[in-house]
């Protein structure tokens, strides 16, 4: 919310310029037009390149990463769907809810630490029922 409020203040400051036409968008160019997704993705890729990130970068990659992170956190599918605007769980499950390395490791860790429920048998019971073959 702090970041959004800062952007809104910046837009209000820009509105003092004759070039800026307030069209009630939040993420705008210097003239008040909405930022085009192609330009955003180019800027994002350029930033990744400057940081030495050897991966195609786009807003969709960030969305995918966000959803995967929510899944790793163990959030319910419905909560993730609501957050990202999916109306059909199949979309979220088949496209975004891939099993991540962290989730796979968690399965291994949980299975390694699993102790099945058992009922301790008293020594007295065991002595009476031991059969010698």
pLDDT tens digit string along 77-99?
Answer: 899 899 989 888 887 777 766 76
Count of structural domains, the chain? 1
Q: What does the block give as tokens for 81?
A: 């769907």
Residue 122 lies in a domain: no
- What domain range includes position 78? 57-112
Residue 66 lies in a domain: yes
Residue 130 lies in a domain: no
Q: What does the block give as tokens for 25?
A: 């968008």
Residue 81 lies in a domain: yes
pLDDT tens digit string along 10-55?
Answer: 999 999 999 999 999 999 999 999 999 999 999 999 999 999 999 9
User: Rounded distance, CA 45 to CA 58, Å?
Assistant: 7
- C-alpha dihedral, 80 to 86 to 89 to 93, nearest 10°: -70
pTM here?
A: 0.62
Residue 67 lies in a domain: yes
**The three-state (H, E, C) secondary structure of 109-131, written as one string:** HHHHCCCCCCCCCCHHHHHHHCC
Residue 80 lies in a domain: yes
């Amino acid at each position: 919310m702090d970041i959004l409020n800062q952007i809104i203040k910046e837009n209000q400051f820009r509105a003092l310029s004759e070039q800026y036409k307030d069209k009630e968008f939040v993420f705008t160019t210097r003239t008040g037009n909405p930022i085009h997704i192609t330009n955003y993705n180019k800027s994002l890729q350029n930033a990744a390149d400057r940081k030495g990130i050897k991966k195609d970068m786009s807003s969709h990659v960030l969305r995918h990463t966000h959803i995967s992170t929510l899944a790793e956190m163990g959030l319910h599918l419905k909560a993730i769907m609501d957050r990202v605007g999916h109306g059909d769980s199949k979309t979220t499950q088949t496209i975004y809810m891939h099993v991540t390395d962290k989730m796979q490791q968690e399965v291994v860790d949980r299975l390694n630490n699993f102790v099945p429920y058992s009922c301790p048998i008293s020594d007295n019971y065991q002595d009476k029922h031991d059969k010698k073959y």
